[in-house]
């Protein structure tokens, strides 16, 4: 019983209980935005508009399939805006929505932390 209590303590705790419920919207959203490519796309677009090819080069070795999937999800969540210009060949621009910018502002300290500690942490792990 003791271990069950601890788990139920966790799910009713102060910190984001719902991300632990598989069918809860916040878990679904959490899964969307914490996918490796989604996060890198959000960071890449944080202060600029990019085209498909630019994103693809920046996120190498992402595959077209993974990139397309991540962008579709971010677009459906209205974190990323996709604009198609009637040019030949067609030009497609990706940028952050206001909601996307809000999220990226929160992600920035996490990314900065990863940058600062990366070498030390990866060296530890070797």
Q: Two tokens at 10?
A: 């966790």
Binding to its own copies by residue 11, rule CB under 8 A? yes
Count of CB atoms situated within 10 Å of the CB of 105: 10
Element (H, E) at 50: strand 50-51
Q: In whole angstroms, what is the distance from residue 40 CA to residue 61 CA?
A: 12
Residue 26: which residues within 8 A CB-CB, separation 6 or more? 16, 18, 19
Say if CB 27 and CB 21 are below 8 A apart: yes
Q: How far is the CB of 86 from its own copies (least distance, A)?
A: 19
CB nearer to its own copies: pick between 86 and 98:
98
Binding to its own copies by residue 12, rule CB under 8 A? no
Q: Which stretch binds its own copies (CB under 8 A): 47-55, 63-71, 82-90?
A: 47-55
The residues binding its own copies (CB under 8 A) are 3, 6-7, 9-11, 13-16, 18-20, 22, 24-31, 33-36, 39-40, 43-44, 46-48, 50-51, 53-54, 57-61, 73, 76-79, 99, 102-103, 106-115, 117-119, 121-125
């Amino acid at each position: 019983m003791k271990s069950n209590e601890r788990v139920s303590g966790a799910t009713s705790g102060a910190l984001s209980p719902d991300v632990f419920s598989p069918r809860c919207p916040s878990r679904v959203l959490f899964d969307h935005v914490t996918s490796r490519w989604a996060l890198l796309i959000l960071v890449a677009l944080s202060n600029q508009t990019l085209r498909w090819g630019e994103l693809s080069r920046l996120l190498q070795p992402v595959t077209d399939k993974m990139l397309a999937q991540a962008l579709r999800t971010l677009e459906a969540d209205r974190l990323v805006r996709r604009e198609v210009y009637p040019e030949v060949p067609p030009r497609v621009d990706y940028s952050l929505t206001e909601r996307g910018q809000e999220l990226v502002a929160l992600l920035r300290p996490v990314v900065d932390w990863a940058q600062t500690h990366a070498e030390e942490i990866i060296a530890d792990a070797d």
